Each structure stands twice: as C-alpha cells, then as structure tokens.
Amino acid sequence: MNSPQNIFSRQPQGSRSPSAEDPVARAASTREILHVDLDAFFASVEQMRDPSLKGKPVIVGGDPDGRGVVAAASYEARKFGIHSAMPTARAKRLCPHAVFVRGSHALYSEISSRFFEILETYTPLVEAMSLDEGYLDLTGCARLHGGPAEKTAVRIRHYIEQELGICASIGMGTNKLIAKIASGLAKPNGFLRVPPGEERNFLKPQLIGRIPGIGPKGGEQLNRLGIKTIGQLTMLPLEELEKNFGEWGRRLYFRSRGECDSPVQAREESAKSISRETTLEEDSLDRPYLIAMLSYLTEKAAAQLREEGLYARTVTLKLRFSDFKTITRSRTFKESASEDHILFEAISKLFAIAHMDRIPVRLVGVSLTGLTTERQTQLDLFQPTAPERWNRLYKGIDRLRSKYGFDTVLRANSKLARSTADLAVGRRRAKNRQERA
Ligand SMILES: [Mg+2]
C-alpha cells in the first residue's frame, strides 16, 4: 500500500506554457485547494476492523450468491477487475477467493464524522462531498500551519492514517477541479500537487473520463468524435461543443482547460442565506421606486453580511407581481463580495432583465447565498489597493450606523426608498385618521 508520493513536477516540453512563467497568471491563481479522498473507504474500514483481512481482496456488498452489487472493493480485489456497482455474483466469478462482507453503515458514518473532524482542525473551509471525500481551502493558511500547503497536505495524510487506521489520497491545485483529478491520479495512498500555471499541461495527456461529469455515455460520444484525451478536447471550439452537447458542452470547454471557480463551501455556510424582502404599500410599476427599495434591502442584507464577517458568492432578486406570480433571478460572482455597490449592481441588472412585463410589483426581495468566511478572490494586479479601500469605507459606514442608526448613511438610491416609504406611511396615517374621523 505504501506507494511513494507522486509529485507532479513534469516540465512542459517544447513550447513552454506561457502561463507557467507569467507572474500575472500566477498571482491570479493562488488558491490552494485540497481534495482529500479515503482509499476504498468501506473496504479499508473492514480491513482495519479485522486485521486478518489486510492484504486480501475484500468486497463489501452483501451476499455473493444473491443479487446485490459491490459497494466497495479493496485494491487487492480491484486487481481482478472488480469495481463498485458490479453485481456481486460477477465479482465472485472474477475472484472466487475474495472475502465478502455485508458492511456496517453505522461504523462507516462514525468514521466519516471523525474524518471530517480531522479535516476541520486544519481549516473551517471544508466542503463534504460524500462520506469519504471533501475539499479544503488552505489559501492563506501557510503562516497558521507553519509551512506551505503541500507540507500541510502531507501532515493531514499521516494524521488520518494514524487516527483512523485507513489511508487517504490528496490532490492539490488552484481549484476544486484540478485537486479532484489530482487525487484520483494519486490513488492509492498518494499525494499529487499541480503547481499554479501547470493546469493545462497536467490535464493534456489525461483521458477525458478523468473530468468529473463525463460518464461512460458522454465519454463514448466524445470518443466517436475521435477525442480520447483532455488535450484533444481543448482543440474543439466552444461553438462546436455547445452545438453538440448544449450546456454540458460549454462546461466541458472550461473544464478541459482546467478552469473552475467554484468556491469551497463549508457545510453550515453553504446552506445559509441572508435575505431581506418587503411587501409594498401598494402594488407598483414605478421603476425608480422599485429600484430604490431594492437598493435599501441590499444595504440592509449587506450590513448583516459584514456584521457576521461573511462574503456572498450569489445574489438573488425576488419579485412577486400583483397576480401573485413570483420569480427569482440569481447571479453568481467570480469573486465573493460584501460591498453594497457590488451586490446592488448585480441586483439592479437582474431587475432590468426580470421586470420587462408591465405588471405591477407587489413584493421585492434580495437574498445573499454561497456565504464564505473568507473572501474568495483573485488578485487584481492593476488595482492592488482597491479591496482595502472599499473595506475601510464600509467599516466606517458600519461604525456610524451602529452608533447613530442604520438610516444615518444610505446610498442615494436607498434614500429615495426611505423618503417614498415615509411618504407612503404618512399618506396611510392621514388616510387612517380620515377614516376614524
Ligand atoms: Mg474514496
């Protein structure tokens, strides 16, 4: 089981990748993402529980004479061509001396929780993908961990083996896609790091089946086009992929280039959202007024976001019309944000598209999701001080508000909402007085 640690250090041959040596590209891709995956999880747990099974082909998945399927196979069993989802009867024919065990899901989930507890001692930014695999975002943790992320990855592997008695493989790269493909190649019991800028060289010779989301069927379709490796896939223009495969083709185009900006989302945060919505005094078609209300709600939501020290990846606009039909429209950013002006710009653009029909609006709402505790950012070399400047500005605003009340400082847009709302409240009070009179 103790294969040496693979370190991806292959230099590109002939034409060197320009991005590998380009400092701008390097600085823009400094995320450090790990994909940690336990090896042959169920089967490894069985071998750990009963050491006499170590080194033997072990198949988890019930009665070999019944009609079940293989849930997991140890690496010793995989040598016989056995893989998960294969009928157990077939597995038995391929390897008659294999040890078949029913498996204990209570034990697997207990070990799974311990696995994630271990990962969470390194960073709160852990995203669980299944019982035995997860992503970690170690960006900017070097000082905390007393060394670069690749050293931390090696420590994590040792710690898991020591604590759980089973092996993990880890892939490391600048995004989730690269980390995931790297861990697959590192298996079993290995570590593989793809340095920033090397993504495309790393992917080029790999078979297309390595890209998550390409199943046997999709692979077959691509093979028919003569495409076997990821490098060959990058030769197809975006239009052709879209024409043949639609949205999936579009995703393939970017994945084959190693591009993926999906953030690592910790469990609680990914489910959480911060929203503000309000039912209007009267159904309205008044665009400036509706935009003003949205601006005010965005400011309210963003203030809470910053108070909780969070950043949002996705903003969602909600509109309910006078006929009670409700729509939502979302936009996901490349970089997470907590600034009013960025969040509101997205909301107002969504509104411009969503509010095309001239139906009066009854309710407006804003919600922020994809929340993270750290800003998922790509360094902007041309404006290195911009984020700090905005941070200072919004910190100042938040301080003033906590002292003198939320409405002390408002965007020009929001002020209109307040004064219109005040007017509306005034009108309603006047009307109530009249009715009482
Ligand atoms: Mg696994």
CA angle 216, 219, 223 (to 5 degrees): 135
Tell me whether strands 274-284 and 361-369 are parallel, antiparallel or unpaired: antiparallel
pLDDT in tens, 19-65: 444 444 444 448 999 999 999 999 999 999 999 999 999 999 877 88
Q: How far is the CA of 8 from the centre of ligand 1 (A)?
A: 21
Question: Among 46, 76, 133, 199, which one carries the catalytic annotation?
Answer: 133
pLDDT bin (cut points 50, 70, 90) of residue 214 is confident
* Domains, the chain, ordered by start: 1-10+23-198 (3.30.70.270), 208-256 (1.10.150.20), 267-428 (3.30.1490.100)
Helices (H), 95-140: 105-120
Could you identify the residue written with the tokens 């990962």?
A: 119
Active site (annotated) includes residue 133: yes
pLDDT in tens, 47-56: 999 999 999 9
Q: How far is the CA of 365 from the centre of ligand 1 (A)?
A: 41
Q: How far is the CA of 169 from the centre of ligand 1 (A)?
A: 8
What's the token pair of residue 7? 């370190």
Residue 365, pLDDT > 90, answer yes
Contacts of 362 (CB under 8 A, 6+ apart): 279, 280, 283, 320, 321, 322, 324
Q: How far is the CA of 292 from the centre of ligand 1 (A)?
A: 50
β partners of residue 364 = 278, 319
DSSP class per residue in 355-410: --S---EEEEEEEEES-BSS------TTSTTHHHHHHHHHHHHHHHHHHH-GGGS-
Confirm if 119 and 136 have CB atoms less than 8 A apart. Answer: yes
End-to-end CA separation in angstroms for the chain: 88
SS3 assignment, position 99: strand
The whole model's pTM is what? 0.59
Is the link from the previous residue into 188 a cis peptide, with omega within 30 of 0?
A: yes
Confirm if 203 and 230 have CB atoms less than 8 A apart. Answer: yes
Contacts of 164 (CB under 8 A, 6+ apart): 38, 48, 111, 114, 115, 118
Q: How far is the CA of 127 from the centre of ligand 1 (A)?
A: 15
Residue 391, pLDDT > 50, answer yes
